[in-house]
Amino acid sequence: MIELENVGYNYGGGELLTNVSVKLAPGSFHFLTGPSGAGKTTLLKLCYGALTPTSGRVRAFNMDVQGLDRDQMAHLRRRVGVVHQDCRFLDHLPVIENIALPLIVSGKDLGGEEANLRELLNWVGLSSRADALPPELSGGERQRAALARSVILSPDVIIADEPTGNVDWEMSQRLLQLLVELNRMGKTILVATHDMALIRAAKNQVQARVLRISSKQLHLAGADL
Amino acid sequence: MSEGRLRKLIIGDAQADRVVPPSGFTAHLTLFASGAMAFLAVFALALSLASGRLADRWAEELARAATLRINAPLEQRDAQTRQALTILNQTPGVASARALSSEEQAALLAPWFGSSLPIDRLPVPQLIEVIEDEQGYDSTGLRLRLQAEVPGAVLDDHTRWRAPLVDAARALRRLGAVSILLIAGAMAAMVTLAANAALAANAQVIEVLRLVGALDSYIAHAFVRRFTLRALGGSAAGVALGMIGVWLMPEASNEGGFLTGLGFQGWGWLLPLLIPLLAAAVAFMATTRAANKRLGDLT
Ligand SMILES: Nc1ncnc2c1ncn2[C@@H]1O[C@H](COP(=O)(O)OP(=O)(O)OP(=O)(O)O)[C@@H](O)[C@H]1O
Ligand SMILES: [Mg+2]
């Protein structure tokens, strides 16, 4: 699905990542971990095309991401659901419309999706908050709304950046549950987190591989977790 | 632009319209400015049309008729008049030449001397009306010939004072046309500024829309539609007010001359109705350019 080949990245102040090669196979579940500032968010952005690598190549769905024009990039975004670390929403629209935003901008008929949308809201436990505005949500509610928005177009790949950053243990278990269910439906999942307990909990439920960024490189973490 | 896109632009998509937050300030500015511009454009158009009509009419009337005056002693007047008429009838470019009868001449003089003037016995010059045909005659050649054969004849072909008047009317028409172009340009500049302000104010919104997979054309469309409709609405109101203003002006009359003729006539009243369409087209192009430029600058 997504493939990085000898990718390097540099914001201008020296190399942040060098020689990163990884392949996200269809239906796989990956965790990405590493200390704060190691470059987890950067690596995820490289995967969904928000950043172009300073060296190496990124391929998504067998297309060279660097070669895509803006319209092709927009279409790529529809095939990759992203939960951003800072969950961006349109603050003037209620939660339900924010979740439906990918449908709206891709010109889909909302009438036919109404039932799906309600079900999805129910699934992330936001039915009662459907008409609230994003600034009125708690951190955990925002992250669940972001997760709902990332899956509304039923993408093949879901990339989540610290989806449990703002929530308590119980809520993070629920979010993990949602991701595991998506994986069982055949979605490819990549989750950045520094929460080891979450990774351990996930290992009981799915075949998850753990990637760790240390000294600018990506390593496959062993069973030492 | 295809018909489908045009229909979508006008009818719009209620959902798509909501993704960009309503912006009260630029909306009102755009409405007001396009209204004011359209109002001015109506007057520039009226001025241009009226002076164009005037230039055409003057040029037409004055070019066609000339007067030949025979200043001769009473006993030679008839002979010279006959001689002049013979020459005129031989001149190529003269459609007809006719000596005014003494009654006609008396009627011309009546406002000054009263109607009881014994015109036959006075040394009043004889007037001959000369009507040109399409090609027109060579007035210098005609003058030379008359000078040689009819010493008392003076050809007054109005050219001396006709030319600057017609030029002035034509210059007014040009000024009107240039004003309309300037108004359109100023409107494009204003819409561009307002659209840029709106795009900048909504940078966050644009970013989120890109993140969830919106095409540039979708984002641009949301802005373009708004500004086009605002320009259309504002200028329609401006045109309506301007047309009422023109309509309230006095009717054209002979006494009032140029000033009272300043208005629309017949089909001319339909012309200002094109202004809102033009304004919408200008706004459409200006916003499309601004949006595409801005979106193209993003990475
Ligand atoms: N736009 C940017 N310009 C310059 N430097 C940046 C930019 N974004 C991130 N960085 C730097 O790159 C490094 C990696 O940032 P990144 O956000 O990828 O870290 P992270 O692993 O996601 O951290 P965290 O766990 O805190 O989210 C940091 O040192 C950060 O300061
Ligand atoms: Mg991060």
**Cβ(A56)–Cβ(A6) under 8 Å?**
yes
With an 8 Å Cβ cutoff, are B18 and A149 in contact?
no
- Phi, then psi, of A33 in degrees rounded to 5: -135, 175
Residue A93 belongs to a domain:
yes
> β-pairing, A208-214 with B65-70?
unpaired
Instruction: Please check the confidence at residue A222 and state whether its pLDDT lies above 80.
Output: no
Higher pLDDT, B298 or B259: B298
pLDDT at B160: 57
The angle at the Cα of B14, spanning B12 to B18, to the nearest 5 degrees, equals 115
Instruction: Please check the confidence at residue A39 and state whether its pLDDT lies above 80.
Output: yes
Instruction: Please check the confidence at residue A33 and state whether its pLDDT lies above 90.
Output: yes
pLDDT at B15: 66
- Phi, then psi, of B94 in degrees rounded to 5: -95, 120
Q: What is the pLDDT of residues A179-196, one digit of tens each?
A: 999 999 999 999 999 888
Q: What is the pLDDT of residues B127-150, one digit of tens each?
A: 888 887 777 788 888 888 888 888
Residue A24 belongs to a domain:
yes
Residue A50 belongs to a domain:
yes
With an 8 Å Cβ cutoff, are B212 and A89 in contact?
no
Ligand 1 midpoint to CA B216 (Å):
27
Residue A42 belongs to a domain:
yes
Domain total for chain A?
1
Instruction: Please check the confidence at residue A56 and state whether its pLDDT lies above 70.
Output: yes
Atom from ligand 1 closest to the CA of residue A213: 21
> β-pairing, A157-161 with A188-192?
parallel
For ligand 1, pick from A7, A11, A36 the residue to mutate: most ligand atoms within 8 Å of CB. Answer: A11
With an 8 Å Cβ cutoff, are B212 and A107 in contact?
no
Which residue(s) pair with B65 in the sheet?
Answer: B131
Residue A38 belongs to a domain:
yes
Determine the distance in angstroms separating the CA of A215 from the nearest CA of chain B, rounded to an integer.
28
Q: What is the pLDDT of residues A108-152, one digit of tens each?
A: 877 778 888 888 898 888 999 989 999 999 888 898 899 999 989
With an 8 Å Cβ cutoff, are B21 and A149 in contact?
no
Distances (CA, A) of B164 to B59, B137, B194: 11, 21, 44
Residue A193 belongs to a domain:
yes
Residue A97 belongs to a domain:
yes
What confidence tier does B122 reach under pLDDT thresholds 50, 70, 90? Answer: confident
Residue A225 belongs to a domain:
no
Determine the distance in angstroms separating the CA of B191 from the nearest CA of chain A, rounded to an integer.
24
Atom from ligand 1 closest to the CA of residue A44: 18
DSSP per residue, A139-177: HHHHHHHHHHHHHTT--SEEEEESTTTTS-HHHHHHHHH
Chain A residues with CB inside 8 Å of B218's CB?
A: 105, 107
Of A82, A84, A104, the CB nearest to B15: A104
Mutation to test the A interface, candidates B206, B212, B221, B293, most A Cβ within 10 Å: B212
What confidence tier does A101 reach under pLDDT thresholds 50, 70, 90? Answer: very high
Q: Which single residue is written with the structure tokens 């278990």?
A: A173
pLDDT at A106: 87
**What is the CATH classification number for the domain harbouring A184?**
3.40.50.300
Biggest CA pair distance of chain A: 50
Q: Please give the Cα distance from A102 to A106 (Å, whole number).
A: 6
The ipTM is 0.88
pLDDT at B38: 93
Instruction: Please check the confidence at residue A224 and state whether its pLDDT lies above 50.
Output: no
Ligand 2 midpoint to CA A43 (Å):
9
Of A78, A90, A107, the CB nearest to B208: A90
pTM over 0.90: no
Containing structural domain, residue A157:
2-220
Q: Which residue of A has its CA nearest to B216?
A: A71
